[in-house]
Homo-oligomer: A and B are copies of this chain.
Amino acid sequence: MSLLVTGSIGIDTVRTPYGVSENCLGGSAVYFSMAASFFCAVRLIGVIGSDCPFDLAQVFAGRDVDLTGLEVRAQSKTFRWAGSYHDNMNSRTTDNLELNVLAEAPPSVPAEYKDSEFVFLANTTPALQLQLLEQIQAPIFVAADTMDCWIAEKLDDLKILLKKINCLMVNDAEARMLTDEHNLIKAVEAILGMGPGVVIIKKGESGSLMCSADGDKFILPAYPAAEVKDPTGAGDSFAGALMGYLAQKGKTDFESLKTAIAYGTVAASFTIADFSLAGLTSINKTDIDNRLETLRKLTQF
């Protein structure tokens, strides 16, 4: 089935204890699309400025990523982010943030994308996520990400969004902040009460937790990676493989969601093994399937 992602396309500069990657390609829509493309065709919506040094058609060459929704604005500059990861790789400092084109009017949804069935609204203002979602005619399964600043500053909009999506994917700190509840299980139950039928909590190196409004639960550890070079994009790769698997299967039952989370976990483990997109572009679907089986073996008793 069709899969649409709306999110950022950025120029990143990343510093980790393993090195520096300057002016590399990043952004939620890019990581998402790359991971999802192992499973199904992806429709991308995003906007860049004329300064963007990357040819996205080249970046996604050989992958079924539809760039009809990519808008290049001649008078604008591309979103830029620079960040430094600390020694433990679990926390980071933003060194520079230039919203640029992301602060302008949002991209529009192309007519040929309006029948999209699976939709991922990557992190941006909840109002913008709503505006993009309203342009999709009859989505089957809509998932969204959000972040601390929107929970703090745009909570009313976010609560409207939560009533219109099927799945919220946030990290543990965001779930706690959104619900003012430290215990994660209670936090998830509170979020389920706000609208989405499924809540997925990303806990970084501690794995993930999924709960449904029907009372189903699933917990999965992260893949035990000996090499973590750059955690940037892990969450978006997780979402990409997860949504890609679901769209490929055309299913959203809880069993399918469990396998989708496992694929998301595997994709994230490849992303963090190298800088920028190198961890994802150097593998194929067989590598992903093999690691899924390894993860299954690692967690079964």
Name the contact of A298 in the complex, choosing from B217, B227, B296, B298 (C-beta under 8 A).
Answer: B217
Q: Which residues of B contact A296 (CB under 8 A)?
A: 301
Q: Which residues of B contact A206 (CB under 8 A)?
A: 203, 205-207, 221
The B-contacting residues of A in range 187-225, CB under 8 angstroms, are 189, 203, 205-207, 209, 217-221, 224-225
A227→B186 CA distance, assembly (Å): 9
Q: Which residues of B contact A82 (CB under 8 A)?
A: none
> Are B184 and A219 in contact (CB-based, < 8 A)?
no
The B-contacting residues of A in range 207-252, CB under 8 angstroms, are 207, 209, 217-221, 224-228
> Are A221 and B219 in contact (CB-based, < 8 A)?
yes
| Copies, count | 2
Q: Distance (Å) between the CB of A191 and the closest chain B CB?
A: 14
Number of chain A residues close to chain B: CB under 8 A: 34
> Are A185 and B220 in contact (CB-based, < 8 A)?
no
> Are B217 and A224 in contact (CB-based, < 8 A)?
yes
Beyond the given pairs A183-B227, A299-B299, 13 more chain A to chain B contacts, judged by CB atoms under 8 angstroms and listed by A's residue number, are A184-B205, A186-B226, A206-B206, A206-B207, A209-B224, A219-B224, A219-B298, A220-B301, A258-B300, A259-B301, A261-B301, A262-B301, A300-B300
